[in-house]
Structure 1
Amino acid sequence: MTVAASFQTTPPTPYMWSLVPGTDNIFIYPLIRKSSVLCSNAYIIKSPLFFLVIDPGSDPEQIEDIRRAIMAQRGEQPIPVFIFLTHCHIDHFLAVDLLMDQTFNGEIICHPIAADAIETMNRDITLANMNGSVLPVCRVRDRFFWPDGVTANLEGRPLPIEIRMLEIENGYAIQSYIIPACGNDRIEAFHTPGHSPDSMCYRIGRFICTGDLHLAVTPGIAGRQGWDNNKIAVSLQTIVKIGKRNGITHILPGHGNIMDFDKTIRIFLESSKEALRLNDLALFDRERSMYLSEYAIVLLEEASNIFSIISARLLKISYYLDMLGENESAKSILSAIDSDMLDKTVDEFNSFIMELKGKRGTPVILKAVQFSRKVNKIFEPERISGLFDPCFLRRIKILLSDFVNVVYGVCFVDQETLFDLNDTVEGTIATLRREHVEPYRIFETLDNDQEFIDELTKRIAYTPLFSSTRFSFSPAQEKPYITADRLMFQDILSALLEQLAIAGIEYISLETSRGGNGTVLSVTPGQGSKPFILRESKMLYLQHSMKIAGGIFKKIVSEEKEIYQFIF
């Protein structure tokens, strides 16, 4: 039965003590940080019998804040300090030993998997291997339960823990661990695996502390050691049901601000559905983290270049329309996209990368995912669809969405199709050389002012990049059928050919062949007005993109010539 929320629903104030609603004598002191993957939030719980620190975090300064808050309340007769973990990832406990010295004497009570990982300094389960962190040497005082076959001294437990079966729905039940806090007050713990095999949630009155459960399907987090999408889906639904049943008002997350439970229900249920979709993700280990963070830097530069091209062309169109006296049309063109917001978003990402001072890994990846999603909301290509080659606009959308998919480690097999490489290369060249304005169309619009302005705008926007470029294509005699993402390959080939045309290369040779290395498309630029040098960032972009498309992109230097190869 759902409890009516007739009580106060104000969230607890960070860095202040307040009574936990739904309890008689339990107080909470939340330490809420600016969202960061480097250190979690922490929550101090105070009852007449003990202090409880949930997820002390990895930042020594946060530990000092915890110590000060507890010492100010402890009095002359110290009551014990216990440490609960929502899970044993390093951002939640790395500095825990600073609460376990002789003056403070904090004691850890956690899930058995977390206990074993902490005591054996397991670098995989704790994710210490992701950034080279040095794990603390510490002992766990107790476990919420002991594995079958292990005998525990229950009389020597620092806290009495009662285990009950809690029915969730239709016969499905989980174990609930009840810790008496004083009088009628109880703290209830639940095993909610998925984000990590040791994940726990804690109900204190009308609050539930959920750790990273709400982030478990986030790109850059999904797929880590111990991650299980099916268990995440069940755990998210379980917490929603427990929350409704107990009249929960707020969720206390491991990262980010305290959340209103009613709003969180939607997030949890949508995340549960998303989790079920994320099958067979690639393992998100240190090697993959380093690769993705480098890809994120490439993404930033490529996106920045594309937005610069778009902004410059819109300015050009607006300028000429204004000169022709079409002031309203000129203003309309400039407002087609929010260039200022796009520039600001790119600058924010750039500044973030600069602040990291060369560091790579999860922070870069999560920021890049945030950047991609923000740009997707701002950038609406349909508003400028008549002013740019559709392939060009599609490229930026695919660039951003594919990055998120790559972070997840999702491979959409249905995007890979069997196609004739010869036909695809010929089709790509034909598309690049095709004129995007009809020669006589403008004369047909003279009787309609708006149609005339639209046609005039298209002509101003049109940039015949390949008008002076000569292509020579030598197809393989035997039709080279390959399996890859055809659209993405065409975009990558177009991106390379555009760079050659911009550099003034007037002759480009393309050749397909089959051999021991597979099927190869070789692109050889002829002499240009100036030496052609493919920027390193563009080279990396093409390499990353071809990897996603299902092939390899590389450069070969032969007899003072550079040959660019697409290998399948």
Structure 2
Amino acid sequence: MPAGNDQLISLSWQQVPGTDGASIYPIVRKIDTISSNSYLIATPDAIILIDPGGLPDQAEQLASVIGEIRQEQDRPVIVFLTHAHIDHFAGSQDVPAFAHPETVIFAAHETGAGILGRGDCGFTQADLLGQKVVPMKIGFPLLTADRSGRPGVPVDLRLANGARVAVTDDRIGTGGVVLPRERIVFGPGPALEILHTPGHSPDSICLRVGGLLFIGDILFAANPGVAGMRGWDQAALIRSLDGILAFLSGGGVSYLCPGHGRVIPVDDAVRVLSAVRTDALALANIAELNCDRAVQAAAFAEDCMEQVNELFTVMAGRLSYVSYVMEELGESDVAGRMESLINRDTIDELLKAFSDFAEEHYRRNRVPIHLALKAAQVIMKLERSFRKDELSRIIDPTLVQRAGRLLSGYTTMMRGFSPPGELSECDIIALVEALVTGLSVSSCSDEEVFDSADDDAAFAQILLARIGTRPLLEDVAFSMEPMQGPLMASIDRDHFTDVLRYIFEELVGTGADRVMMKIQRDSQNSILTISGNTTLLPLAEQQKTFRFLQGLCHRAGGSLEYKGETETRQFVITIGLA
């Protein structure tokens, strides 16, 4: 590693720390689902490639560099796979230089060797990513059952490409955690240590050369859209994380080289791995992330991002109005503080990035998981881009709460859980009446403004809230047919009131100046009908809106029907009686 630099320099040869005579040529990529990083290591005895990646161009580049160093000194080439996911090896399947077992040998955990040998599209994630995988022979299976029965005894192997290696089963255990380990010696040069670290996949391994530990995708194994992939195992992942942390505590490792993204100094890596372990502990009994779930996630992603975009537009507009009024009143400091509550530039960039990605996604007819993962990435950043608590005290808090619920609901779903919902018995009539009242009158009365005049801080806060909120139904002729209560139903209150607010906003936002509501009951259900005189939207927009509201209504504990006629739009919510 160059002095004073804590990163491997991509596309450049440099010494492997902690070794004599070993050099590394890394290809370090930005994080994506298309291709992994690759690490090419040259020792006096062998050429070792860790993960050729998912792109043919990347594999071609590696083959070219391998050809150059073999001309300088011919040595056997061994390609080690940290695991059998397609983004770590598929590029090599289209490059002839990697198709000659007399020259290049592939090595993978014994389980991965079986997965690759049968061309398993499930465990390789080829199905999920819309790709095909060609069965491939693994000439050097690692951590095999027969060698594990002879711990501490070197086994001499001669591989098909002429390489002679000595392999020793050498399990390591610290603090009750045992990781299967093999030590591979190619000659007098540095040894290679292989650790079995399942969890992200059953065949995941880490490899150590000198002061570098190559860790595959374990850093991302608890991430939304990664946890729950076929072969993922929570208990195994936690054991592996414990084992790696124990291994690192023994010293000797300076940097961790992940399958995606930048190299990490060991002290930082310990903190990150500990955080991954904390996240993994919360992921019991999650659903498998398969093709069907990816389709659902992509649809939810589109709906979620569209609604989030509208909510942030409204919130930013109201905040701008508050800031403008405060500036006119000579309160420049207060006006400036308003602008800092939402990072509008960042939010606009993130939402545009998703919109551009979605447009390209459909143009190229990509598989749904790519859109779902992009949304998860954007949403994680959006959640850090607005100050929820302070915003809730100035503009309509339900706007902020709904944005927060949408963002967290999507992340929850991508983690493999059903979106959150807490059903409880509730009087539908009382809840609706309270909501309609809140949407019809200001949240701060004139009396409250006058009563706070002697308290500068309280007056300023109430004034801000008065300016920042505007009742949705204030200028709408709203009518509701009377019905005797109570009408008890089992619902999720937050999601139910969100559904009603979205329907009212949809009607008012498309021109309705009259909104009618009727609440009925039959022997099993309460039935809410909401209608308004509004111009119909194009069919595609109506369908997209209905899909979002239908999902939200389901999470509230009910079902939704929609009718759009020439001059009237009608929404019918059905909820089971308690």
Q: TM-score, normalised by structure 2?
A: 0.88
Deviation of the 1:325 alpha carbon: 4.3
Matches within 5 A, 1:401-480: 401-411=408-418, 415-446=422-453, 452-467=459-474, 468-473=476-481, 479-480=487-488
C-alpha separation in 2, matches of 1:224 and 1:237: 21
2:29 partner SS = coil
CA-CA distance at 1:471 after TM superposition: 3.2
Secondary structure of the structure 1 residue equivalent to 2:560: strand
Partner of 1:400: 407
**Residue 108 (str. 1) matches residue 106 (str. 2):** yes
Q: Secondary structure at the match of 1:136?
A: coil
Q: Aligned runs of 1:187-202 on 2, under 5 Å?
A: 187-202=192-207
> Structure 2: how far apart are the matches of 1:339 and 1:171?
50
How far does the alpha carbon of each residue in 1:262-317 deviate from its partner, in whole angstroms, 9 at most, with x for none?
10101101111211210111110112112212221222221111111112222223
Deviation string, structure 1 residues 111-147 (Cα, Å, up to 9, x no partner): 1221111111111111111132121242221211434
2:347 corresponds to? 342
Kept after mapping to 1: 8 A contact 2:536/2:565:
no
Are the aligned partners of 2:409 and 2:420 in contact in 1 as well (CA < 8 Å)? no
CA contact (8 A) 2:130 2:367 kept: no
Inter-partner Cα distance in structure 2 for 1:344 and 1:316: 22
**Shift in CA distance, 249/551, structure 1 to aligned 2, threshold 3 Å:** farther
| Residue aligned with 2:21, SS | coil
Distance (Å, rounded) in 2 between the aligned partners of 1:383 and 1:366: 30
1:11 aligns with 2:18: no
Q: Which residue matches 1:287?
A: 292
Query: Could you tell me which residue of structure 2 aligns to residue 71 of structure 1?
Result: 67
Q: Does 1:119 align with 2:125?
A: no
The one-letter amino acid of 2:77's match is: V
Pair 1:311-2:316 in alignment = yes
Instruction: Tell me the secondary structure at the aligned position of residue 83 of structure 1.
Output: strand
Q: Name the % identity.
A: 26
Provide Cα deviations, 1:149-168, integer angstroms capped at 9, x if missing partner.
Answer: 999x9755455352334232
Contact 1:178 1:189 in 2 (8 A): yes
What secondary structure does 1:198 align onto? coil
Give, in angstroms, the shift of residue 488 of structure 1: 1.7
Q: What number of residue pairs does the alignment pair up?
A: 559
Q: 1:388 aligns with which of 381, 386, 395?
A: 395
The one-letter amino acid of 1:134's match is K
Task: Provide the C-alpha distance between the structure 1 equivalents of 2:242 and 2:139, rounded to a whole number of angstroms.
Answer: 31
Which piece of structure 1 moves more, 371-380 or 437-446? 437-446
- CA 1:392–1:510: 2 relative to 1, 3 Å: farther
Residue 528 (structure 2) aligns with:
522
Aligned equivalents of 1:248, 1:372: Cα separation in 2: 34
Deviation at 1:477, TM superposition (A): 7.7
Which range moved further: 470-479 or 79-88? 470-479
- Aligned partners of 1:322 and 1:140: how far apart in 2? 70
Partner of 1:37: 33
The answer for the alignment partner of 2:515 in structure 1 is 507
CA distance in 2, matches of 1:413, 1:88: 33
Match of 1:229 in 2: 234
The one-letter code sitting in structure 1 at the alignment partner of 2:267 is D
Mapped contact 1:193–1:200 kept (Cα < 8 A): yes
1:357 Cα deviation after fit: 4.3
Contact 1:165–1:174 at 8 Å: present in 2 too?
A: no
Give CA-to-partner distance per residue, 1:492-546, whole Å, 9 cap, x none: 221112222333241322324346xx63533231435x45777444333323333
Structure 2 Cα separation of the partners of residues 117 and 60 of structure 1? 21
Residues 1:297 and 2:302 are matched in the alignment: yes
Q: Secondary structure at the match of 1:143?
A: strand
Between the aligned partners of 2:558 and 2:252, the Cα distance in structure 1 is 53
User: Is 1:255 equivalent to 2:253 in the alignment?
Assistant: no
Quick one: distance in 2 between partners of 1:554 and 1:199? 47
Residues 506-515 or 66-75, more deviating = 506-515
State the Cα deviation string for residues 185-239 of structure 1 (Å, max 9, x = none).
Answer: 2100011000001111101111110000000000000001010111111111211
Is the 1:293–1:364 contact (alpha carbons within 8 Å) kept by the matching residues of 2? yes
Cα 1:239–1:319 shift into 2, 3 Å: same
- Pick one of 178, 182, 206 that aligns with 2:183: 178
139, 142, 165: which is aligned to 2:137? 139
433-442 vs 54-63, greater mean Cα deviation:
433-442
In the other structure, the counterpart of 2:278 is 273
CA contact (8 A) 1:475 1:513 kept: no
Residues 47 and 181 of structure 1 are in contact (CA less than 8 Å); yes or no, is this contact kept in structure 2?
A: no
Tell me how far 1:442 sits from its aligned partner.
3.1
Which residues in structure 2 correspond to 1:531-546 (within 5 Å)?
531=536, 535-546=542-553
Q: CA RMSD in A?
A: 3.1
Q: Secondary structure at the match of 2:127?
A: helix
Query: Given residue 111 of structure 2, which amino acid in structure 1 is its aligned partner?
Result: I
Matching residue of 2:380: 373
CA deviations on 1:331-379 (whole Å, 9 max, x unpaired) are 4433433222222222222233334344343332232222222122120
1:166 to 1:324, Cα distance in 2 relative to 1, 3 A: same
Structure 2 segments unaligned to the other structure (5+ residues): 150-154
1:496 to 477, 494, 503: 503
Whole-Å separation in 2 of the counterparts to 1:363 and 1:445? 53
Say which SS state the counterpart of residue 126 (structure 1) adopts.
coil
Q: CA deviation at 1:476?
A: 8.7
In structure 1, which of residues 210, 217, 228 is the aligned counterpart of residue 222 of structure 2?
217
Equivalent-residue separation in structure 1 for 2:113 and 2:473 (angstroms): 64
Residues 192 and 44 of structure 1: is their aligned pair in 2 closer, same or farther, counting only changes over 3 Å? same
Partner of 2:171, secondary structure, is strand
Contact 1:14–1:31 (Cα < 8 Å) also in 2: yes
Contact 2:43 2:189 in 1 (8 A): no
**1:30–1:44: 8 Å Cα contact kept in structure 2?**
yes
Compare 411-420 and 31-40 and name the one that shifted more. 411-420
Would the aligned equivalents of 2:111 and 2:202 in 1 still touch at CA under 8 Å?
yes
Deviation per residue, 1:397-438 (Å, 9 max, x gap)? 111111100111224777333434444333433333343121
Structure 1's unaligned 5+ residue stretches are 1-6
